[in-house]
Amino acid sequence: MSHILIVYSTTDGHTRRICQRLQAVMECSGQRVTLVPVEQVSTCALEAFDTIVVGASIRYGKHSRLVHDFVQSNAALLVSKPNAFFSVNVVARKPDKNLPATNPYLQKFLRQIAWQPRLLAVFAGKINYPVYKPLDRLMIRLIMWMTHGPTGRDAVVEFTDWSQVEAFGHAIAAMQPVQ
């Protein structure tokens, strides 16, 4: 049994839900899993974990600066252990942008960091207009209008493929130590 850390950044809570599903899958495989928001990761002894997974949502085309800083500060440690990264963004709802190699936000992030994760995934996120602040609601509706997504003022649309999330969880649980 290994101990897996999932460090995550979430804007509206959907990335946390994805992390919780990953946790459930990995725990069913006999792994011990700890979820930690990136804002609290400084309290963790990272060396104590066998595997480290980083997950981050996108808002206005960017991952959280805290995720970027965490990855840059811990690149050597991440490389020394089985590791993975996943991005959650609504553009991944499109078939031509739902893979790590074709998702522009994930590719941009990878170009900005020194770490090259062993496993990568991109998951389509969720639109939830009722919970957004007025400015966010307006901006996201505009982006959705430009990209032919849902724009109804009260629309709540989850694009996440949960079987894809579960498959990623199984792949993480099966990772072997770095040689």
The domain locations on the chain are 3-125+160-173, 126-159
Q: Which two tokens stand for residue 24?
A: 């459930």
Query: Which of 28, 31, 32, 9 minimizes the C-alpha distance to 19?
Result: 9
- Residue 113: CB atoms within 10 Å: 16
Question: What CATH number was assigned to the domain covering residues 3-125+160-173?
Answer: 3.40.50.360
pLDDT tens-digit readout, 147-163? 999 999 999 999 999 99
pLDDT of amino acid 64: 94
- What is this structure's pTM? 0.94
Q: Which two tokens stand for residue 148?
A: 């032919």
| pLDDT: which is higher, 148 or 179 | 148
pLDDT tens-digit readout, 76-112? 999 999 999 999 999 999 999 999 999 999 999 999 9
d(CA 116, CA 68): 13
- Kindly list the distances between the CA atom of residue 144 and the CA atoms of 32, 55, 129, 135, 141, in Å, as whole numbers in the listed order: 38, 23, 11, 14, 5
Q: Which two tokens stand for residue 123?
A: 């998951």
d(CA 126, CA 160): 7
| Per-residue confidence band for 61, with pLDDT thresholds at 50, 70 and 90 | confident
pLDDT of amino acid 179: 58
User: 145 Cβ partners below 8 Å, 6+ apart?
Assistant: 151
